[in-house]
Amino acid sequence: MRLTLDIALTHLLHRKRQSVVSVLGISMGVGFFIAMAALMQGFQRYFVDKTIDVSPHVIMKDEFRVPPRQPVELVYPGGAVRLLNVQPIEERRGIKNAMALAEAIAARPGVAVAPTLVGQVFLRFGSKDVSTTLYGIDPHRERRVTQIERDLIRGRLDSLLTTANGIILGEGLAAKLGVGQGDTVSATSSAGVVLKMKVAGIFRSGITTKDNFESFTLLKKAQVLHDRPNVVNEIRLRLADINQAAPLAIALEARYRYRSESWEETNKNILGIFVIQNGIMYSTVSAILIVAAFGIFNIITTVIHEKERDIAILKSMGFGEGAIRNVFVLEGVVVGIVGTLIGWLLGFGLTELLGAIRFHVEGFVTMERFALHYTFTHYLLAGTFALPSAVFAAWLPARKAAAVNPVDIIRGAA
Amino acid sequence: MDKTPLIDARGVTRELPGTVPVTLVRDITLTIPRGQFVAITGPSGSGKSSLLYLLGLLDVPTQGEILLEGTNTTTLDKDRQAQTRLARLGFVFQFHFLLHEFSVLGNVMIPMRQLGGRPNGEIEKRARELLAALDMEEYADRLPEQLSGGQRQRVALARALANDPALILADEPTGNLDSKNAQQVFDIFKRLVEEKGQTVVAVTHELDLAAQAHRRIKLVDGRIAEDSG
């Protein structure tokens, strides 16, 4: 093996420039993979963490995924019955017996609940009208379900209890209205009720949509504003074990029929984008590595062409086909290993460089710098991609080298 | 002493397939005992080198069989043939075929390193002894390109002798050498046969050199035309 390595290394060192280019090809593939993976996964994890952190893990809403079946359909299942122009009874919206239901759910281990009335209202301050999603909450329950209290940059959550008609606004929403803590805004609901509300606090969650469009008040105030006394239209849940969100949502919906969404379902569009994003990343890096593999293929093919005489004499000396093949495969291994090691350093450097960049962007989330995810798995994964690529690229021409007929070469050289 | 002939070729024919098949050697039957210096002569295209490659397991006959030390080599798989070449045979060609990137010493060590079973220090010692026997020890650390043609051929010879082969096969080993260097190479062959009991089969068309061998075989059109026996 030592001799095989010696021969492989002399071949590579003899063609320094091509070897360096091949190594750099692999290094760049590995380096960019690590940096891109840190960037992409960092953002995705940041977003998911933020979402899990800020939002409830399960939301039960006062709606049904499947409309209730009509009595005639229940009596004659599968019968030739077709109902036309059904006029549903206009029922009062809201989760029936919400408080008792909330208590029943809260009795489950590791589950905190917050009954809420959610609705759209217009906030007016001076000549500015801004639409907001107003959450009517109970502060004592809310602090166990979301991180609103921690995200407050002005005021306190309990201020809602001590401020007459208090409202807590997202930072972006307050900015749009041009209000600060202590200002009074006029809130108008779709029911036509108008309330003067005093800004009791301002929060910054880091999720742009929340900060720009959400606001909080006491449940009772929201019920008054929407003219829906004692109505709760959402029960929001926080779980000790986040992995239980989807099964619990399914179980709750099966039991109570109210549409229950886990945080994954609520954010499935964005999570779907992440899947596409990862696909793009892996495709791009694969393309880089394929180009690098072609570089290795090229150099080893050239070396084999140049070293036909050496191959012939080695075979005449008694090197078997396997030994000859190993020489060239080992060249691929050496290029792959050196390329991967340099790529790891490059990846680390690029990630550090990305980490040092500062900016201000408001997208899904508000960010001041790239959220990066550092993990050895990325390095391992990059190596797992790169090394077999290099070996495969070397193995193809190595097979040709192993098949060289020494007699043909020796006759030609004579 | 082992009475088995070193080489026992029986009805060996080598034909190249194609639309017009070409016969390189035809129905060669030949026995070479141990410790013999055999020169194969003949005009160009008579099949001298082809026969040598068949005897050296670099090629396989299309008919007949070749026994080396009693073992039928034609039925061996490629790996076993390679292993036999490594352990029992040594080749010298008209062109030296030294590896340019390796030193003289490195080139001589290659067959021993590939065969394995010996520590590196011992392999180096043996390589230096071989070079010393061929008056090449002082060039051990040089690269092949720093040597003359005769010196390169002596290094190639040292490499061929590295694993102490039973049979040394030389294909026009003096073809690129002047008469003085050519005679030196043949003197080495004679010494190997006389002093170490090794067997040498050398292809040459230089009749004065061939005359120094124990036995001369002349090939014409792929057949043995004369055998001094």
When the pLDDT of each residue in chain B is averaged and rounded to a whole number, the result is 91
Nearest beta carbon to residue A318 from set B94, B101, B111: B111
Residue with tokens 């945080």: A263
Measure CB to CB from residue B110 to each of A3, A309, A407 and give the nearest one: A3
Yes or no, beta carbons of B84 and A315 under 8 Å apart: no
Name the least confident of A145-154, A158-167, A263-272, A326-335: A263-272
* Nearest CB partner across the interface for B82, out of A14, A312, A318: A318
- The pLDDT value given to residue A19: 87
Confidence of residue A390 (pLDDT cuts 50, 70, 90): confident
- Under the banding of pLDDT at 50, 70 and 90, the label for residue A294 is confident
Q: Could you say which of A10, A321, A410 has the minimum Cβ distance to residue B78?
A: A321
The two three-digit tokens of residue B13, written as one number: 């024919």
- The predicted structure's pLDDT at residue A45: 86
Residue B32: per-residue pLDDT:
94
**A361: pLDDT confidence band, cut at 50, 70 and 90?**
confident
In this predicted structure, which of A237-251, A357-371, B195-209 has the lowest mean pLDDT?
Answer: A357-371
Which neighbouring-strand residues pair with B169?
B91, B201
Considering the domain B7-227 in this protein, what is its CATH number? Answer: 3.40.50.300
Rounded Cα distance, A383 and A346, in Å? 13
CA-wise closest residue to B39 among B223, B220, B206: B206
Q: How many Å lie between the alpha carbon of A296 and the closest alpha carbon of chain B?
A: 21
Helices (H), chain B: 48-55, 78-88, 104-115, 120-133, 149-161, 179-196, 207-210
- For residues B154 and B136, is the Cβ–Cβ distance under 8 A? yes
DSSP code at position B74: G
* pLDDT band at residue B28 using 50, 70 and 90 as cut-offs: very high
% of chain A residues with pLDDT over 90: 52
Q: Which residues of chain A have a CB within 8 Å of the CB of B49?
A: 411, 414
Tell whether A316 is within 8 A of chain B (Cβ): yes
Rounded average pLDDT over B16-34: 91
Nearest C-alpha in A relative to B57: A316
Look up residue A375 and give its two tokens.
């993990």
More confident: A82 or B204: B204
**pLDDT of amino acid A319:** 92
Complex ipTM > 0.85: yes
**CA pseudo-torsion sign A369, A374, A379, A385:** negative
What Rg do the C-alpha atoms of chain A give, in angstroms? 33
Q: Quick one: tokens of B2?
A: 């082992």
Q: Which B positions 52-111 lie with beta carbon below 8 A of chain A?
A: 53, 56, 58-59, 78-79, 82-87, 89, 91, 93-95, 97, 99, 101-102, 110-111
Task: Give pLDDT, residue B12.
Answer: 95
What mean pLDDT comes out for the span A166-177? Answer: 95
Contact list in A for residue B87 (CB cut-off 8 A) is: 318
pLDDT digits (tens, 9 = 90+) for A204-217: 988 888 899 999 99
Residue labelled with tokens 């690229």: A393
Looking at CA atoms only, how far is residue A352 from chain B in angstroms? Answer: 41
Q: CA of B136 to nearest chain A CA: how many angstroms apart?
A: 21
Predicted pLDDT of residue A289: 77
Report the pLDDT value the prediction gives residue A74, as an integer from 0 to 100.
80
Q: What is the mean pLDDT of chain A?
A: 89
**Residue entry with tokens 């030390």:** B69
- pLDDT of A365 > 80? The answer is no
Query: Touching check for B115 and chain A: CB below 8 Å?
Result: yes
Q: For chain A, say whether B45 makes contact (Cβ under 8 Å).
A: no
Q: Given pLDDT bands bounded at 50, 70 and 90, which one contains residue A68?
A: confident
Min mean pLDDT across A128-137, A358-367, B148-157, B199-208 is at A358-367
Distance separating alpha carbons of residues A200 and A157, to the nearest angstrom = 8
Bridge partners of A170? A203
Q: Which amino acid is at A201?
A: G
Residue A414: the pLDDT is 53
A229 vs A14, more confident: A229
With CB atoms and an 8 Å threshold, state whether A410 touches B82: no
Question: Which residues in chain B touch residue A13, judged by CB atoms under 8 angstroms apart?
Answer: 101
From the list A7, A316, A411, which residue is nearest B85 (CB)?
A316
Nearest chain A CA: its distance from B215 CA (Å): 25
Closest approach of chain A CAs to the CA of B99, in angstroms? 6
Asked if A11 and A329 count as a contact pair (C-beta separation under 8 A), the reply is: no
Q: Which of A278, A343, A287, A365 is nearest to A41 (CA)?
A: A278
Which DSSP state fits B214?
Answer: S
Q: How many CB pairs under 8 A join A and B?
A: 80
- Non-local (6+) Cβ contacts of B68 within 8 A are B6, B7, B57, B84, B88, B167
Spacing of C-alpha B135 from chain mean position: 20
Note whether A406 contacts B: Cβ–Cβ < 8 A.
yes
- pLDDT of A189-202, one tens digit each? 999 999 999 999 99
pLDDT on residue A270: 81
Which of B16, B48, B93 best tests the A interface by mutation, with the highest count of A CBs <10 A? B93
State the smallest CA–CA distance between residue B202 and chain A in angstroms: 15
> Per-residue pLDDT tens for A32-46?
889 988 998 898 888
Mutate which: A2, A13, A313, A411, vs B, most B CBs within 10 A: A313
Chain B nearest CA to A242, separation (Å): 60
Name the residue among A2, A10, A313 with its Cβ closest to that of B97: A313
Q: How confident is the model at residue A413 (pLDDT cuts 50, 70, 90)?
A: low
Mean pLDDT (whole number) for B144-156: 92
Position B1 pLDDT exceeds 70: no
Q: What is the pLDDT of residue A192?
A: 92
Instruction: State mean pLDDT over A61-74.
Output: 81
From B78, B95, B99, residue closest to A414, measured CB to CB: B95
Question: Which of A10, A320, A410 shows the shortest C-beta gap to B93?
Answer: A410
Give the Cα separation of B213 and B199 in Å (integer): 11
Residue A238 reports pLDDT greater than 70: yes
What local confidence, expressed as pLDDT, does residue B19 receive? 87
Q: Report d(CA A303, CA A326) in Å as an integer.
A: 14
